[in-house]
Amino acid sequence: MPLLVMKFGGTSVADLSRIANAAKKVQAEVARGYDVIVIVSAMSGETNKMVGYVEGTSKLYDAREYDAVVSSGENVTAGLMALRLQEMDIPARSWQGWQVPINTTSAHGSARFIDIPRANIDAKFAEGFKVAVVAGFQGLSAEGRITTLGRGGSDTTAVAFAAAFGAERCDIYTDVDGVYTTDPRIASKARKLDRIAFEEMLELASLGAKVLQTRSVELAMRYKVRLRVLSSFEDTDENSGTLVCDEDEIMESKVVSGVAYSRDEAKMTLVTVEDRPGVASAIFGPLADAGVNVDMIVQNISEKNYGTHTGAVTDMTFSVPVNQVARAQKAMEEARAAGIIMYDELISDTDVAKVSVVGIGMRSQVGVAARMFKALAAENINIKVIATSEIKISVLIDRKYMELAVQALHDCFELDKA
């Protein structure tokens, strides 16, 4: 039988009525002739509740026990979904991660997949079962302990199952009806995309779009798993939602497919750093060791006195998530105290945002950056930092101009038009 993977997020299974609604969508696919693997998240808010329980019990908690507690929400949802399907006369059973088993690394809280053996679930399908309901977000370490995959891990679970079982498609049901050219709450002209390439979706996800978890898109691109993003709360058919697929499945791409933004960014500048071989390693090594996620990097070189040394010096600017500024400052102060790096001053600007345009059409078009910068200049928006890749241009700007910039760029590249 053809096989389909369907994933339902926390808002889609938030209570018994929504679980029943999701079960009807599974029933419709079974009626079309599919065997179905359903991946479920915990009910909306349950994981946060479990995290609160752990932190309220132990500040320096054992990560293994943390995973045992926070993974429990998915187990509840899986059992309830299986029960609902059984009430609808659909042969179904639930599976926890260890029962499949979903084999992962032992990195508790951020485990990665090793493999998903098919034998146990295939045997149940062979017996006549039509649906396997699997708890997302969790797995099993080599030591026999429950692991979790990090926030958004149920998306990654769904893609991994689709790859392991050769599914025809992986449908991600959420609270939006697809992937839009930008956030409709900011740009009223935002348009739902019928299709988007893996690379574009990966960039949008990493740049702040919350529709899909970044690791799930990476996995889908690697194994060519066709993803479909669609709403749990609307009637759907085979043409609903947005298909995330290989570039070859898209007839002709627009130069820019979407505008993404990240509101909580910070710009940090090390002033007067000696310009010598190894200086970048001396800066970004300690930041990496401290767990700071550095994004955009700009280096300016000038000639001036550096203490008692006259020679080339540089100012090094980089962006980090705003909630990692204190950690970055501490890492740099400790590196200076240890003599690893010398600088005159560390300046932090915590009132910036990142706005990006993304599109595989940029590969074959010139002048995209010029159009983008002209549109921002027309709105009197100053650019602080620029970073580019083959299919992306990102800028840091003052946060107060973020929404204006998104609207201006959406209009500039006429993303409201198909």
Contact 221, 159 (CB under 8 A): no
Residue with tokens 């700007």: 397
Mean pLDDT of the chain: 92
The answer to whether residues 199 and 391 touch, using CB atoms and an 8 Å cutoff, is yes
Beta bridge partners of 398: 352
Dihedral sign from CA coordinates of 408, 411, 413, 415: positive
Distances (CA, A) of 380 to 187, 377, 398: 19, 5, 11
Q: Model confidence over 51-66: pLDDT tens digits?
A: 999 999 998 899 999 9
The string of pLDDT tens digits covering residues 164-206 is 999 999 999 998 889 999 998 899 899 999 999 999 998 888 7
DSSP state, residue 293: -
Structure-block tokens of residue 41: 């998240």
> Which string of DSSP letters, residue by residue, matches 142-209?
TTS-EEE--TTHHHHHHHHHHHHHT-SEEEEEESSSS-BSS-TTT-TT--B-SEEEHHHHHHHHHTT-
Can you give the length of the chain in residues? Answer: 418
Helix (H), strand (E), coil (C) string for 358-403: ECHHHHHCCCHHHHHHHHHHHCCCCCCEEEEECCEEEEEEEHHHHH
Highest mean pLDDT among 124-138, 185-199, 271-285, 301-315: 124-138
Q: Cα separations (Å) of 136 from 153, 243, 307, 325? A: 7, 22, 56, 32
Q: Is the pLDDT of residue 375 over 90?
A: yes
What is the reported pLDDT for 108? 94
DSSP secondary structure code for residue 43 in this structure: P
CA dihedral 108, 109, 110, 113 (to 10 degrees): 60
Query: For residue 218, what are its two tokens?
Result: 């990476």
Confidence of residue 308 (pLDDT cuts 50, 70, 90): very low
The reported pLDDT for the residue numbered 213 is: 83
Cis peptide before 2 (omega within 30 of 0): no
Tell me which amino acid residue 344 is. D
pLDDT band at 336 (very low <50, low <70, confident <90, very high): very high
* Whole-prediction pTM: 0.84
Question: Which of the four pLDDT bands, split at 50, 70 and 90, describes residue 23?
Answer: very high
For residue 1, the model assigns a pLDDT of 80
Distances (CA, A) of 302 to 180, 269, 311, 316, 341: 43, 15, 9, 11, 18
Residues facing 174 on adjacent strands: 231
| Contact call for residues 418 and 191 (beta carbons, < 8 A) | yes
